[in-house]
Structures are given as C-alpha cells and as structure tokens.
Amino acid sequence: MNENNTIEEQYDYLLQCLKSEDMTNFRTAFFDLHIYEQGQFYQSLDEDERLRLYHYLSPKEMADMFDVIEEDNEDVKDYLKEMRPQYIADMLSEMYTDNAADILNQLDKASVARYLSIMDSDSAEEIKELLHYEDETAGAIMATEYVAIKANQTVHSAMNLLKKEARSAETIYYVYVIDEQERLIGVMSLRDLIVSDDDVMIADIVSERVISVKVGDDQADVAKTIRDYDFLAVPVTDYDDHLLGIITVDDIIDVIDDEAASDYSGLAGVNVEEVSDNPFKSSAKRLPWLITLLFLGMSTASLIAHYEELVSEASILAVFISLITGTAGNAGTQSLAVAVRKLAVTDDKDANFFRSIITEVLTGLVTGFVTGATIFVIVGIWKQNFTLGFVIGAAMLCAITVANLAGSLIPLLMEKLGFDPAVASGPFITTLSDLTSVLIYFNIASLFMSYFIT
C-alpha cells in the first residue's frame, strides 16, 4: 500500500481487507500504522468488524494496542464483552500492569476474579497488588516493569541485564540501583552506563541523590514532582524505601488530563468527561445540580420579594438587579478559578490561605471601585440622577468585594476540611453571589431612598 495515502484511505483499505477476509494484506497494512493509529482504527469499527479483528490479532498484539487506548474510555467494558475470557486474560497478561489494573478497576468484582483466575500466576499477582492500592495514589498508577540493578555488580553485568529486560520494561532511560534488601539507594541514566567502562562497579558511579515518591502519595503530588524535576519517570517506594514500581511521564499526562477535567467539572457543575449524545442521559446528569441551585436561587427570589415595597416605591431599582448580580457572579467565578489554580500549584497551603484572602479582598476593592465608578458615571448621565448612580456604584463595589472574598474563601475552606476545592463550582458561587448582591443592593438603596425618588 502507498505510504503517501491519507490515514482515511489507509483505514478504508484496512476495512476492505477485513470485510474480504484478506488477513495477510490486513496485517501488513495494519502494522504499518503507528500504534496510536491502530487504536483509533479499532475504535472506529462496529461490533461485527471488531469480532473479525480478534481472529486476526493475537492477545499480545491486542495488548500493545490497548496499552495506548485511553484507559478511562467508557467503551472498554463493551469491548471486553465481545472477547473470549481466555483471550482477555492473555491480553491483560501482556499489557503493562498499571494499564491492565486500570481496565480491571472498571469491571465488577466477579469479572475481575474470573480473569485473574485464568491469567498466568505471575501477571495475576502483580496486578492484584496494584488493585489493592487506593485510587488516585502513586500505587494505583505505577507500573512494575522497570529495570533494577545491584550496587555490587559491574557495568558489564548491568548492561547484560538491561538488554535482557529492556523488551518488557516500560522505560530503560533510568536504571534504579537497589541493595540486597531491594531498598532503593540510587539511580543511573542509560547514558551513565553506556559511557562507563565495563569493569567499573555500579557503586562507584551511581548517583545516590534519588528523588522518589511514596506509594500512598496523591497522584497530583506525583505529577508536580515529575513536572518540577523534568523527569521521564519517577520511582515509587514503600515507607521502608523498598522499590515497588515506577511512574512514567505518559501516565502523568493522563493524570494531568484527569485532574484538569475534574477541576473543570467542578467549576461547571457537571461531569464534562461523561459526554452523551442521548439528551435524556445528558439531562439526568445535569438536573440534580441544577435543581439544587434552583432551590438556592429561590432564596434570592424570596429576598427580592421581601423588598417588594421598596421596589414599588422606586421601580427604577429593578432595572439594575441583574446588572449587579451578574457582575458580582462573574467576579466570584474569576476569584474561584484563581483560588483553585493557586491551591493546585502552591505547596505552602497555610501561608497561601491568609495571603489569598488578603489578595482577593484588595482585588475586589480595586475592581469593585473601578466598576462602581464606571457605572456611577453611566447611570448618573443616563438617568440624570447621580444619587441613583452612587447607589448602584456603591452596591457594585460591595457586591464584587464580597463575591471575590467568597470565591477565594470557599475553596480554601474546603481544602482545609479535606474536600476537593474544585467542587465549589462556578454555578454555586454565582448563585451565592446573587443572594448577597441583592441583599447589599437593597440595603444601600433603602438608605438613600429619599435622595433619588422624585
């Protein structure tokens, strides 16, 4: 097949070979694709086409492809239902242990037990160990395919070991050095081994300053470590420094994507990862949060009703309710986004707490003053009533300051209480800002009623 063909043309050719049961040409063209493109082609097939594909690919070849298919793909469970149990077990045995564990974590306990029971014992034991670790920790995302050498061997023997284990290792760019008790004592790069003489002892050239993470560390903290040190991989140890596995940068990219999606879901008040074309399913996911906010919004409506007499005396006040609540809500959402981001990138949480509060109050005062002064001039000229303009401007200043404070204080308090600060969502902050803005607005207006009512 011509290498200059577009990826769509290659997919069409593969599909044609698949339907015509031309296994030889299918396999040739299929393995000419990049592994990512193989996965994309597989996911584009319907069930009947995939059933044919399973006869054309071995479990090992399928495992290579599943290693790059997004592990949180909601269709993975459906894919497994199409395969024979033994085929699944063989495929999982050939996958990297962290990826296999990710897939099994999506299945019910009966299915997990079934596949583990027919899998080869060594692979099953390694995967079982990963399944025991708490979700979103270093232990849950680490791989056990790494290269470890002893300090008391030569470079020559270390290179022989590296050549032997390189094919199954997830990465060989870092080689970890352990003692007789398998405790991590150092790290070497592949370059260190290549440039050293064969008869040099590992103990003489190993770097003992090794950065590692603990098996119970949060995955977000692991991501920060890899980001800060520009690592391709980081070793994972238990609390006695025994080497248990490694976490590679490609796994951390997935973690960053997951954390970003989680934060965005919290800010939006909806799970952005669960996308469905079915309007009923989409509605079912969004309605609980919307109904909750509806009841909170009723508090704002009740508050406005409480000031009904005030509005009836000065109907002009009703014109600016949405302006003040909307602007304050936007300011609160901005403050929330900044606060959540600061919590994600700052290590000193205690110092961050008080500094963020002071910063957001001052920011609220500055932005509130400028916004309030602007609306003061606009309303004063528009309605030819600068007293009314002052009321609107003062309410805007106070509402934005309070909204900024709430937007930064709520996620910080949630962090202190051990909750994910991202769940302090934008819709919640906006609705809360509506409530406080209305309260501030009408109280200020009631103080100056006699000055702007003619």
> 110: domain CATH number?
1.25.60.10
Distance CA 33, CA 11 (A): 10
- Mind listing the pLDDT tens digit for each residue in 366-401? 999 999 999 999 999 998 889 999 999 999 999 999
Domain membership flag for residue 356? yes
Domain membership flag for residue 255? no
Based on the domain organization, do 427 and 311 belong to the same domain? yes
Domain membership flag for residue 231? yes
> Nearest Cα to 83, choosing from 107, 102, 99, 105?
107
Based on the domain organization, do 37 and 113 belong to the same domain? yes
pLDDT value at residue 280: 72
pLDDT higher than 70, residue 15:
yes
- Mind listing the pLDDT tens digit for each residue in 205-218? 999 899 999 999 99
C-alpha distances (whole Å) from 40 to each of 36, 37, 68, 133, 139 are 6, 5, 10, 30, 29
Based on the domain organization, do 329 and 374 belong to the same domain? yes
Based on the domain organization, do 29 and 90 belong to the same domain? yes
Based on the domain organization, do 318 and 448 belong to the same domain? yes
Averaged pLDDT of the chain: 86
Based on the domain organization, do 137 and 211 belong to the same domain? no
Domain housing 64 = 7-141
Q: How many domains does the chain have?
A: 3
Based on the domain organization, do 212 and 331 belong to the same domain? no
pLDDT higher than 60, residue 184:
yes
The last residue of a domain, from among 141, 167, 202: 141
Based on the domain organization, do 301 and 444 belong to the same domain? yes
pLDDT higher than 90, residue 54:
yes
pLDDT value at residue 83: 94
Domain membership flag for residue 274? no
454 falls in which pLDDT band (50, 70, 90)? Answer: low
Among 122-126, 246-250, 407-411, whose mean pLDDT is lowest?
Answer: 407-411
Count of residues in the chain? 454
pLDDT value at residue 5: 74
Domain membership flag for residue 254? no
Based on the domain organization, do 90 and 212 belong to the same domain? no
Residues facing residue 234 across a β-bridge: 247
pLDDT value at residue 287: 73
Distance CA 59, CA 121 (A): 17
pLDDT higher than 90, residue 449:
no
CATH number at residue 227: 3.10.580.10
Domain membership flag for residue 269? no
pLDDT value at residue 312: 83
Distance CA 319, CA 358 (A): 33
Based on the domain organization, do 47 and 99 belong to the same domain? yes
Q: Record the tokens describing residue 82, joined without a space.
A: 């199409």
The last residue of a domain, from among 141, 169, 203: 141
Domain membership flag for residue 262? no
Distance CA 11, CA 65 (A): 16
Domain membership flag for residue 204? yes
Based on the domain organization, do 381 and 287 belong to the same domain? yes
- Mind listing the pLDDT tens digit for each residue in 23-50? 999 999 999 999 999 999 999 999 999 9
pLDDT value at residue 235: 95
The last residue of a domain, from among 125, 141, 157: 141
C-alpha distances (whole Å) from 368 to each of 323, 396, 400 are 13, 6, 5
CATH number at residue 374: 1.10.357.20
Cβ pair 246, 233 in contact under 8 A: yes
Is residue 334 helix, strand or coil?
helix
Based on the domain organization, do 136 and 153 belong to the same domain? no
Cβ pair 284, 270 in contact under 8 A: no
The more confidently predicted of residues 429 and 117 is: 117
